[in-house]
Structure 1
Amino acid sequence: MSSGKKKLKDLLQQSDNRTCADCGAHDPKWASPTIGVFICLKCCGVHRTLGPNVSKVLSVTIDEWADEEIDAMIEVGGNSSANSIYEANVPEGVKPGPDASIDQRTKFIRSKYEHQEFLQQGLKISSNKTTLQASPSKKLSFRAPSSSSAPKPEHVDGAIGHLKFTILQGANLAVRDMLSSDPYVVLMLAEQKVQTTIQRSNLNPIWNEELMLSIPEDYGPVKLQVFDYDRFSADDIMGEAEIDIQPMMTSAMAYGDASMFGDMQIGKWLKSPDNALLEDSTVDIVDGKIKQEVSLQLQNVESGILYLEIEWIAP
């Protein structure tokens, strides 16, 4: 079995992918790499009527998959991630069950994917690929799962602690190639520089990647930049922003061991004309950890939003 097919099989084994994304039937054997969902045979028939520009369907066991099709499935993350977007506002009783008629399936699936009736307000998914486009005032419904395998920070003499930056996703990033871009994110503080992986041909990438920085005593703002990777020339800038970590650091120093406290807000970075915030960013104790959600309007660029989460890691 090729490494790509093994990745696809491993993704299929996740619990949320063991039932059809559209009707809940068990053991789906079909998938739509255009959308990123696993579906049953009955729902697959409806997907075929949508056309490959909306939903290209492939057999998980029989068809040959291109590497980019497998990567597209992995990038979405499975049925739960996709449905958190496509079914964000689905009315109660509208979603069909495994025994639904073909008419019920057709009505629901067309409403869900073709007409996009159940998306969060302010979201739109383009017809040529699964990309999310958000209005600047709306945050996408995506949360990074917790991970115990965050990369270790670089050693910095006199570090007073560490910050874990989870780069969640971008929206409406700038075009730097012919029709798209190959974006990656860079964070810099003092002499440290860390970056995400490159997302190929994606203006609305989902990274969900953790980057670690050590915090020196004389820390300043963290500089964030987004670049378009270019194999044959210098990478093009796709926007930048500064992250003021003072509210996070002040809160972390004041509360010490956050596990002693219940969930509550302990600080705030306020949106102003002088920063890149889309909205006020609160510092909170959540499940015994100090965290901060940040939404940034990238600066010095025609468009681009970046969503991330910061977590304090004591030394």
Structure 2
Amino acid sequence: MGVLSVTLDEWTDDEIDAMVEVGGNSYANAIYEAFLPQGCSKPNPDSSHEERASFIRSKYELQEFLKPSLRIVSSKSSFQSCDSGKVSCSGSDSFKSSAGMIEFIGILKVKVIKGTNLAIRDMLSSDPYVVLTIGQQRAQTAVIKSNLNPIWNEELKLSVPREYGPLQLQVFDHDMLSADDIMGEAEVDLQPMITAAMAFGDPDLLADMPIGKWLKSHDNALLKDSTINIVDGKIKQEVSLKLQNVESGEIDLELEWIPLNQ
């Protein structure tokens, strides 16, 4: 009998804690195998290496068994049918958007709380405002005059499409006589919040508790790990961002997720 040799990834303590907080492997399977079609079974101990690899690719890379509203896949991706011994399965036509229409899955409330140590773009200060973008939607805060540490406490709302990407954030300096100058930008990954919300269901039925976490890494703009919580029946997440492509600046946000099926 042959032995398959593998090299396991090393997990940090923070990554292990985050996995435990969202319920471990059972909750991950509840999300990534929620729509496992009839006739497509999970590999068993006697399954071949090819069958295991095909299932793993379908589950995680192609996201074929996720609820369609959570998938982040290219529009060119195609799903194979469950025949000829293949594991991957076609998605239900009932979840496909009509041509020319955008299907939304929820509302994202973003409270832009404050900025800290923002960049100077005028003589001694700046007149900052924040712009948020998801797809073709755009929302912005009020302009605060001559302030590098502005406090907005302003709530903006954006609809989230089924095929969503990150929330784009930009800070600008308002100018009267010329184009507004950019003062930095950042992205917010929405998948941890939306995935956690889908895994735990109706927050009105649950006590206050953490349900997920977006971890700080060199690939994102987080200043610290961002925990997703149920608070008074609402799904919320506090996010502190270091602005990118600028000499200085931080932005604090509070997100709230409202699924349209709630």
Could you tell me how far apart the structure 1 residues matched to 2:133 and 2:168 are?
5
Structure-2 separation of matches of 1:256 and 1:224: 28
For 2:200 and 2:142, the matched residues in 1 are separated by: 34
Structure-2 separation of matches of 1:230 and 1:254: 45
1:235 aligns with 2:176: no
Separation in structure 2 between the aligned mates of residue 201 and residue 252 of structure 1, nearest angstrom = 39
**Matches for 1:240-279 after TM superposition, within 5 Å:** 240-279=185-224
Deviation per CA, 1:179-198: give whole Å up to 9, x if none.
Answer: 00000000011110100000
Equivalenced residue count is 160
Q: What amino acid is the match of 2:164?
A: Y
- 1:260 and 1:194 map into 2 onto residues whose CA distance is 32
Matched, 1:195 2:173: no
Shift of 1:254: 1.4
Alignment partner of 1:307 out of 252, 255, 260: 252
Deviation for aligned residue 1:251: 1.1
Aligned match of 1:168: 113
- Counterpart of 1:294 in structure 2 is 239
Q: Secondary structure at the match of 1:160?
A: strand
Residue 215 of structure 1 is matched in structure 2 by 160
Unaligned runs of 5+ in 2: 1-100
Matched with 2:127 is 182
Q: Which residue of structure 2 aligns with residue 125 of structure 1?
A: none
- CA shift, 1:199, in A, is 0.4
Q: Could you tell me which amino acid in structure 1 is paired with residue 247 of structure 2?
A: E
Aligned-partner Cα distance in 2 for 1:219–1:308: 19
What amino acid is the match of 1:218?
E
Task: Give the whole-Å Cα distance in 1 for the aligned partners of 2:197 and 2:159.
Answer: 14
Q: How does 1:34-113 map to 2 (within 5 A)?
A: none
* Dislocated runs of 4+, deviation >2 Å: none
Identical amino acids, percent of aligned pairs: 67
- Equivalent residue, structure 1, for 2:22: none
| 1:257 Cα deviation from its structure 2 partner | 1.1
User: 1:256, CA displacement in angstroms?
Assistant: 2.2
Three-state SS of the structure 2 residue aligned to 1:237 is strand
Shift of 1:313: 1.4
CA distance in 2, matches of 1:247, 1:267: 7
Normalized against structure 2, the TM-score is what? Answer: 0.60
Which of 220, 225, 229 lines up with 1:280 in the alignment?
A: 225
- CA offsets 1:232-290 (integer angstroms, 9 cap, x no match): 00000000001000101101111221010001110110000010000000000011110
Ranked by relative contact order (alpha carbons within 8 Å, sequence separation 6 or more), the top structure is 2
Could you tell me how far apart the structure 1 residues matched to 2:244 and 2:102 are? 32
1:168-212, Cα deviation, whole Å (9 max, x unpaired): 000000000000000000001111010000000000000000011
Partner of 2:119: helix, strand, or coil?
coil
Distance 1:245 1:223 in 2: 10
Deviation (angstroms), 1:158: 1.0
Q: Distance in 2 between matches of 1:276 and 1:270?
A: 10
